[in-house]
Structure 1
Amino acid sequence: MLAKGVCKVIAFFLILVTILVLLVLYFKKTKSNFPDNFTMQHSPLKIGHRGASGYCPENTMASYYKAIELGADFLEVDIHLSKDGILVVHHDSTLDRTTNGKGNLRDYTVAELKELDAGSWFHARFKDERVPLLSEILENFRSEVGILIEIKHPSLYPGIEKKLAEELSKREDYTSDKKRILVHSFDMESMKRFHQLMPDIPVGVLIKRRISDQKLKEIAEFASFLNPKQTILSTKLQMRIQEQGMKVFTWTVNNKKQIHMLKKMKLDGIISDFPDYFID
């Protein structure tokens, strides 16, 4: 009887030690390269989708100023490369939808892009808005808010990751707490390349379809966050992502009640066209 009792105590002790070891490994794994003030925040980051694109023409200076006015923590910025190799802020790979230009953005030089009207399609009062450069966004806003940069269609722009790394490297304070930079893309290989170039900048992957545990593990090898579309987000998926040590964002949420519900899930970031829809 005594021997059985001793065995039970030892077994219990071994189980306890195993649990403690697993907890230590888990917390070690979930330690990311996000700035401390972001890691410790409890409310989701308010991320202005292409600025405040519910109120202003997307990816314009007016839209970004409005997002800051409405309390955004981060500005979401889409980038492409111009014909002369400059990082340009625009969503589509073509110009037709949101400017008076025609055809592929990559066929235009920056000087030509700057001649285009990027605001009248939204409302006549924005007729003076132009296609901004990433350098202009960083120069004007990086001291006030974080910048979430999405590399659009990287396969169209070989070397765009290196161009982005060079642009960010011009600014010595790009990793400081108050001037945060995050980078993400739908293209996992692009994020691997950028992570190798700038391992101190947190990178993430956007997804809009179901994802396997194996793929999550693969992404977690280099990414600090995953950004699933709101239509596929669930508590189960959130837990699966967090189990791999990544933070969880979602896009694009334009309903006040849904934002409130997602805040209760304690997500790390919510992307919205309406930064003022976040209810405290």
Structure 2
Amino acid sequence: MRLFLALSLCLMLGSAVTLAAERPIVIAHRGASGLLPEHTIAAYTKAIEDGADFIEPDLVATRDGVLVARHENEISGTTDVAARPEFADREVTKVIDGVAVTGWFTENFTLAELKTLRARERLPELRGTANDGRFEIPTLDEIIALAKARGVGVYPETKHPSYFAAIGLPLEAKLVAALDAAGWRTAEAPVFIQSFEVNNLKQLRKMTGVRLVQLVAGEGAPADGAGRYAEMLTPAGLKAIAAYADGIGPEKTLIIPRGPDMRLMEPTRLVANAHAAGLKVHPWTFRAENHFLPADHKRGDDPRAHGDLVAEIRAYLATGVDGIFSDFTAEAVAAR
């Protein structure tokens, strides 16, 4: 009888562990970026406190080859660099992924110089500026140290990898070296690396065993010219992705489109098709402001006001997605 009870308990615990492992993950999109300036240690820490499973740094390179977290390598919208007279002569125009961009770029600054800047809110018209000037730009190493200390994973995105490779600052080797130093080398590591490009993911597949995710936008094509996103979403395209990646990160409307009235429609077959190809599905990005929500989950007319983000996330969880990117970690955890 005791043996029977022991075996039963083991089976029950095993099932619980399996269910816990399979529950959708909550990825803190640039940290708790709905509450604090994105890509700061404060935003990542808040997200961890609110229950995130993974924190997401977008990675760009400095002039001296250090990986730091910024949404883009052009930083006038996320730092106070434009107000710093000592850097006025660094404003330039560059062509990034085929688009002319004017501003200040991380690759024109050393890490020491970037550390003198302070983060600003990227969406001040929606989220205010109360926390501008309080936080510095973190390095990948600092973010990994935080994640390890707090027991969460990291979900880095390589930003404009072909551009950085072309200017002699490739991202991949430094990223893999940082993950290796943390002891994160295999598919069991608490890591996903994501990219909108294809060829750097294929390169990374040869360099590391951690999980890789192909990001997919609703339209357009990867900057490295590797096909078009629409082609990736076909069963054949998903099978091709599965040869070098472990999942896809689709724009969320590819899973549940919005109709002419901006309400949620019936889900597509993307989740089922991706799962059939052996791929995880982590859609982006879930935000609480009415400005971003479908019409059926808005509350009032103020674009800055928060609607029913939990209800929107639950609609997506019902499709069987394996994780979600959200600017608001607490709401995502509540929805799950």
Aligned-residue offset at 1:41: 2.6
| TM-score, scaled relative to structure 1 | 0.81
Q: Which amino acid aligns with 1:165?
A: V
Aligned-residue offset at 1:213: 2.7
Partner of 1:264: 318
Q: Determine the C-alpha separation between the residues in 1 that align with 2:19 and 2:141.
A: 27
SS of structure 1 residue aligned to 2:275? helix
Partner of 1:25: none
Partner of 2:297: none
Alignment partner for residue 164 of structure 2, among 157, 160, 165? 157
SS of structure 2 residue aligned to 1:250? coil
Aligned-residue offset at 1:215: 2.1
Alignment partner for residue 238 of structure 1, among 271, 293, 303? 271
Q: Tell me if structure 2 keeps the 8 A contact 1:119–1:130.
A: no
Aligned-residue offset at 1:42: 3.4
Cα displacement string for residues 215-250 of structure 1 (whole angstroms, at most 9, x for unaligned residues): 222211010011101011144011111111111110
Q: Determine the C-alpha separation between the residues in 2 that align with 1:65 and 1:71.
A: 10
Partner of 2:143: 137
Q: Tell me if structure 2 keeps the 8 A contact 1:229–1:251.
A: yes
Q: Which amino acid aligns with 2:205?
A: H
Alignment partner for residue 215 of structure 2, among 206, 214, 219? 206
Aligned-residue offset at 1:66: 0.7
Partner of 2:280: 247
Q: Which has the higher contact order (CA 8 A, sep 6+)?
A: 1
1:175–1:126 CA distance, 2 compared to 1 (3 A):
farther
Q: Determine the C-alpha separation between the residues in 2 that align with 1:150 and 1:86.
A: 15
Greater than 3 Å deviation, 4+ residue runs: 37-40, 119-122, 173-177
Partner of 2:51: 71
Larger radius of gyration: 1
Alignment partner for residue 155 of structure 2, among 148, 151, 159? 148
Partner of 1:215: 237
Aligned-residue offset at 1:119: 3.7
Identity %: 33
1:262–1:84 CA distance, 2 compared to 1 (3 A):
same
1:114–1:38 CA distance, 2 compared to 1 (3 A):
farther
Aligned-residue offset at 1:100: 1.1
Comparing 262-271 and 51-60, the one that deviates more: 262-271
Q: Determine the C-alpha separation between the residues in 2 that align with 1:212 and 1:176.
A: 26
Partner of 1:97: 77
Q: Tell me if structure 1 keeps the 8 A contact 2:30–2:43.
A: yes
Partner of 1:168: 179
SS of structure 2 residue aligned to 1:83? coil
SS of structure 2 residue aligned to 1:231? helix
Q: Determine the C-alpha separation between the residues in 2 that align with 1:124 and 1:174.
A: 39
Cα displacement string for residues 128-158 of structure 1 (whole angstroms, at most 9, x for unaligned residues): 2001000000011224211101001101211
Partner of 1:189: 199
Partner of 1:225: 247
SS of structure 2 residue aligned to 1:71? coil
Partner of 1:88: 68
Q: Determine the C-alpha separation between the residues in 2 that align with 1:74 and 1:90.
A: 17
Q: Determine the C-alpha separation between the residues in 1 that align with 2:281 and 2:115.
A: 36
| TM-score, scaled relative to structure 2 | 0.68
Q: Which amino acid aligns with 1:197?
A: M
Aligned residue-pair number: 242
Q: Tell me if structure 2 keeps the 8 A contact 1:168–1:174.
A: yes
Comparing 252-261 and 165-174, the one that deviates more: 165-174
Q: Which amino acid aligns with 2:251?
A: K
Q: Tell me if structure 1 keeps the 8 A contact 2:214–2:249.
A: yes
1:187–1:101 CA distance, 2 compared to 1 (3 A):
same
Aligned-residue offset at 1:43: 2.4
Aligned-residue offset at 1:266: 2.4
Q: Which amino acid aligns with 1:133?
A: T
Cα displacement string for residues 58-93 of structure 1 (whole angstroms, at most 9, x for unaligned residues): 000110011011111111110011100001111112
Structure 2: 5+ residue stretches without partners = 1-16, 83-103, 219-229, 256-266, 288-308
